[in-house]
Amino acid sequence: MISRRSALAGLGAAGAVATLAPTRTVRAQPAPIRIGWAVSRTGPFAGGAATTVIPNYEMWAREVNEQGGIRVGNARRPIQVVEYDDRSNSEEAVRAVERLISQDRVDFILPPWGTGLNLAVGALLNRAGHLHLAVNSVTNRVDDLGRRWTNAFWFLGRSSSGAEALVAQLAAMRQAGQITPRVAMAAVSDQFGVELANAGRAAFRAAGFDLVMDRNYPLGTTDFAPIVNEAARANPDAFVAFSYPPDTIAITDQARVLGFNPKVFYTAVGTAFPLFRDRFGANAEGVMGIGGWHADSPALRDYMRRHMAFANREPDRWASSVTYSSLEVLAQAIERAGTIDRAAVIAEVAKGGFDTIAGRTEFAEDRVRRGTWWVGQWQGGEFHGIAPANLPGARAAAFPKPAWRG
């Protein structure tokens, strides 16, 4: 396994490429399957990549090689990894993927973290006929890209589905007489936040909710006192923030300090991170967020144990296990196809029917995976999936959110 940990990003990137020449020492072994990835080791996306993507890629590669590799026909072939740092920069990501395709000539490429980077490298992967397992990429552009990029599979789906699932959950609570139609909404002005907010706004209106606050804030905002104060003054029954990880922490903390405790408190990306529970302890209880998982599933419990042993920390409760399941899909598709021919493997992935830690993986017509968790809630120190309610393991929402403790 050749892995380039880019501790010194930007320094000697070209020099490092030269050292990436494959080292084939053992001749008796079958040729390895070369797998490449370019993910954000540095830059603003490093936090997301380090939480959700990197431990899973590394753990999977090690586990597969410990088992002797992936079975192709009669032989087991080990995995050889080529890795680059995209520095959270889309031009850099495109360059790295180009290098993986034409210079390193890898057999399969694993995608970066984040919608923007996935879209940036998507066209290139499509043109080269490479499989694109787009996991950490949630966007409404699946509508038009899904038709054109027949090599791409969308594991989490559209952002509008996320907002609509949340609104459906709140509408059910309203139906049950638990909350009034008063909803306060805030969203980060960045791709995913804006898409969620647009879909959320439309869905709230359509469901007859009264948006008593509707605000955007710029990416990188650190002070949320004005927003939380305004939300508190509007006196809503539900507070919804389509936020990113640092904002999720800051907004929740600000609400706690100001004693703003609506019956439903929802923050988006980052709520499912173990960091959230570690940071807020008992105060995490009852907070809803984007994501969730089937916490009682034996396969996921085993995954949690392996992840702890490998990375010395817990996985996040949304995209981590889905990322890992996408790698299981890749391995099973190769085994079923009996070849590493990319077109054959892509055709095999499209057939679906994979048994993974995230359950049975099937794709819809538009190659969007079925069964994405959209709303989760911290209940007793675990982030359980609560919506869509028809998924296996879905819990009922705990209501109302308990008061903040000091």
Partner 1 sequence: MLVLDAVLSGLVLGGMYALVALGLVLQFGVARIMNLSYGEFLVAAAFGAFFTFSLGAISPILALAFAMPLAFAANWLVYRVLMTPLVARSRGNAAALEADSILATFGLLFVVQGVMLAFFGGQYFSYSYLSEPVRVLGSVQSLNKLVALGFAAVIGGGLYLLLTRTRQGTAVRAVAVSPGAARLVGIDVLATSAFAFALGGALVAAGGVLVSMFLTFSATAGVTFTMKALIVVIMGGTGNLLGCLVAGLMLGLAESLVATFVDPGLTIAANFALFLAILLWRPQGLFGRAAR
Minimum CB–partner distance for residue 192 and partner 1 (Å): 16
> Which residues, listed in sequence order, are joined to residue 217 by a DSSP beta bridge?
188
Minimum CB–partner distance for residue 94 and partner 1 (Å): 20
Residue 69 Ramachandran class (φ > 0 left, ψ -120 to 50 alpha, else beta): left
Q: Which is nearer to partner 1, 186 or 322 (CB)?
A: 186
Q: Which is nearer to partner 1, 10 or 129 (CB)?
A: 10
Minimum CB–partner distance for residue 50 and partner 1 (Å): 3
Nearest by Cα to 263 from 190, 199, 184, 210: 184
Minimum CB–partner distance for residue 193 and partner 1 (Å): 11
Q: Which is nearer to partner 1, 229 or 339 (CB)?
A: 229
Q: Which is nearer to partner 1, 49 or 345 (CB)?
A: 49
3-state secondary structure 271-337: CCCHHHHHHHHHHHCCCEEECCECCCCHHHHHHHHHHHHHHCCCCCCCHHHHHHHHHHHHHHHHHHH
Minimum CB–partner distance for residue 157 and partner 1 (Å): 25
Q: Which is nearer to partner 1, 204 or 217 (CB)?
A: 217
**Residue 101, helix vs strand vs coil:** helix
Total count of residues recorded for the chain: 406
Minimum CB–partner distance for residue 406 and partner 1 (Å): 7
Site residues for partner 1 per CB under 8 A? 5-11, 40-44, 46-47, 49-51, 54, 88, 186, 189, 215-218, 220-223, 225-227, 229-230, 245-246, 249-250, 253-254, 256-259, 270, 273, 275, 279-281, 313, 406
Q: Which is nearer to partner 1, 274 or 388 (CB)?
A: 274
Q: Which is nearer to partner 1, 248 or 372 (CB)?
A: 248
Do residues 388 and 250 lie in contact, with contact meaning Cβ atoms separated by under 8 Å?
A: no
End-to-end CA distance of the chain: 49
Nearest by Cα to 1 from 28, 30, 33, 29: 33
> Distance between CA atoms of 294 and 385, rounded to whole angstroms?
6
Minimum CB–partner distance for residue 265 and partner 1 (Å): 17
Do residues 367 and 152 lie in contact, with contact meaning Cβ atoms separated by under 8 Å?
A: yes
Cα-based distances in Å from 235 to 31, 256, 262, 263:
64, 15, 8, 11
Q: Which is nearer to partner 1, 221 or 379 (CB)?
A: 221
Minimum CB–partner distance for residue 144 and partner 1 (Å): 28
Q: Report angle CA 300, 62, 354 to the nearest 5 degrees.
A: 45
Q: Which is nearer to partner 1, 196 or 275 (CB)?
A: 275
> Distance between CA atoms of 45 and 48, rounded to whole angstroms?
5
Minimum CB–partner distance for residue 310 and partner 1 (Å): 13
> Distance between CA atoms of 250 and 267, rounded to whole angstroms?
10
* Alpha carbons within 13 A on the beta-carbon side of 139: 21
